[in-house]
């Protein structure tokens, strides 16, 4: 009986190790040139994973990120330009996949919103200072 438990425990440990190694295995991609490999690295670091909130394709381990890394690899090796690859990803997943969205009328708030809030905050701060200064003078 003891031998059966040891075999069962060893089999379970072996399967767990096998699955862990399989899930942590990195993709081994062979590129036709060093330039293609550099382009690949640049693109997967610049494109955001559609499933993950704030991870790029290179850092994400989600299944969609793995599929998109393969897609980027295949497109690079088939001769597509970086812009064609980015356009494909944007057409399929929207501007969300870009860490640096394009400059358009739809993204004005994204580009200028922080500055507008900063100016409004400074104006409110100055108004509070001025009104408090007047209150201090009148109370003396």
**Three-state SS across the chain?**
CHHHHHHHHHHHHHHHHHHHHHHHCCCCCCCCCHHHHHHHHHHHHHEECCCCCCCECCCCCCHHHHHHHHHHHHHHHCCCCHHHHHHHHHHHHCHHHECCCCCCHHHHHHHHHHHHHHHHHHHHHHHHHHHHHHHHHHHC
Model-level pTM? 0.59
Instruction: State pLDDT tens for residues 17-34.
Output: 655 544 444 457 788 889
Q: Out of 1.20.1260.10, 2.60.40.10, 3.40.50.720, 1.10.8.640, which CATH number does the structure's domain 2-100 have?
A: 1.10.8.640
Q: Where are the domains of the chain?
A: 2-100, 103-140
Instruction: State pLDDT tens for residues 38-85.
Output: 999 999 999 988 888 788 888 888 888 999 999 999 999 999 999 999
């Amino acid at each position: 009986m003891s031998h059966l438990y040891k075999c069962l425990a060893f089999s379970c440990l072996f399967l767990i190790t096998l699955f862990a190694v399989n899930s942590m295995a990195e993709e081994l991609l062979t590129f036709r040139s060093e330039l293609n490999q550099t382009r690949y690295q640049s693109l997967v670091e610049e494109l955001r994973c559609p499933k993950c909130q704030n991870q790029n394709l290179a850092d994400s381990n989600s299944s969609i990120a793995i599929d998109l890394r393969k897609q980027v690899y295949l497109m690079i090796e088939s001769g597509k330009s970086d812009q064609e690859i980015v356009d494909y990803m944007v057409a399929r997943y929207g501007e969300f996949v870009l860490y640096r969205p394009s400059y358009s009328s739809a993204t004005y708030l994204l580009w200028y919103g922080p500055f507008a809030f900063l100016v409004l905050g400074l104006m409110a701060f100055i108004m509070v200072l001025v009104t408090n200064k007047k209150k201090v003078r009148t109370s003396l």
